[in-house]
Amino acid sequence: MSNHLTGFRARLQAGPAAFAAWCGMRDPAVAETILKEGFDCAILDWQHGYHDQASVEAGILLAQACRKPAMVRIGVGDFAGAARFLDWGAVGIIAPMINSAADARMLVDFLRYPPLGSRSWGPTRAMGLMGLSNGEQLERANETCIVIAMIETREGFAALDEILAVPGLDGVFVGPGDLSIALTNGAAIDPLHAEVTAAVKVIAQKTSAAGKIASAFCPDGKRANELAKLGYTLLSVGTDGFLLRSAARAELVRAKA
């Protein structure tokens, strides 16, 4: 039996595309408000968002109250912290700046129980949220938890084949902002840059050929729509700050017209 939490990994593997509310703001009421607009999951941005640990914990719980899964984008190399977020009930982890198969293997090692890795036991909150006993969690965690490596550097892009081949890694998540900086040698920060657009096509093909999940940060709904058509099955749609600012700007324009 699977539910909206334990079944989310299979949903991303099979499609159709899931659209994620990208939540950088600390107040979980923001995530709650956006999630209710029909998003499929929340991604809490620990790396660059305003979060503290309490707001990540609350964000996971509020997503659950909306019957939506929550994932966390962790800080660079913070794999021990990532395991903690899984213990709190996040269904998956998105790890930035994965540049090699060795990086991806270390990520998997922290987040999967044996035989795939050496995650340390302690998922009390996660088991409560998912409705699993100790035995069920041990049996099912490796098949329900989503482990995703961000591709956002030249090194990571060059090592894509080897990264995709790492057992226990579910897929990749494109960080188009950093990738644009890398591919232009620091000349541009443009998630829609032509070089990034070319790269996301290659990443879609290689990831699909490897039978893994292709996912990406999208600055807006138009880009998310384009990438869904390329076969990406997890796509953020802007950010909470972007959605708030663009709605505020548009309404103010109408008010002043």
Residues identified as active-site: 48
Which of 40, 78, 152, 170 lies at the binding interface for ligand 3PY (CB under 6 A)? 152
The nearest distance, CB 2 to ligand 3PY, in angstroms, is 29
Among 20, 178, 216, 237, binds Mg ion (CB under 5 A): 178
Please give the Cα distance from 90 to 6 (Å, whole number).
11
CA distance 173 to 215: 4
**Residue 215 carries which DSSP code?**
E
Contact 179, 126 (CB under 8 A): no
Q: How far is the CB of 151 from Mg ion (least distance, A)?
A: 10
Q: How far is the CB of 48 from ligand 3PY (least distance, A)?
A: 6
- Restricting to residues 92-131, name those near ligand 3PY by CB under 6 A: 96
Query: For ligand 3PY, how many residues bind (rule: CB under 6 A)?
Result: 8
CB distance 98 to 151 below 8 Å? yes
- Our finding on whether 178 is near ligand 3PY (CB under 6 A) is yes
Contact between 147 and 107 under an 8 Å Cβ cutoff? The reply is yes
If we measure between CA atoms, which residue out of 108, 190, 219, 204 comes closest to residue 157? 204
Residue 32 near Mg ion by CB under 5 A: no
* By the rule CB under 6 A, 78 interacts with ligand 3PY: no
Does 59 engage in binding with Mg ion (CB under 5 A)? Answer: no
Binding flag, residue 217, ligand 3PY (CB under 6 A)? yes
Q: Which residue has the tokens 């540049």?
A: 99
C-beta closer to ligand 3PY: residue 28 or 175:
175
Q: Which of 47, 111, 114, 121 is nearest to 80 (CA)?
A: 111
DSSP structural state of residue 38: T
Minimum distance, C-beta of residue 215 to ligand 3PY, in the bound complex (Å): 11
The Cα 209–Cα 140 span in angstroms is 26
Contacting residues toward ligand 3PY, per CB under 6 A: 96, 152, 175-178, 191, 217
Binding site for Mg ion (CB under 5 A): 152, 175, 178
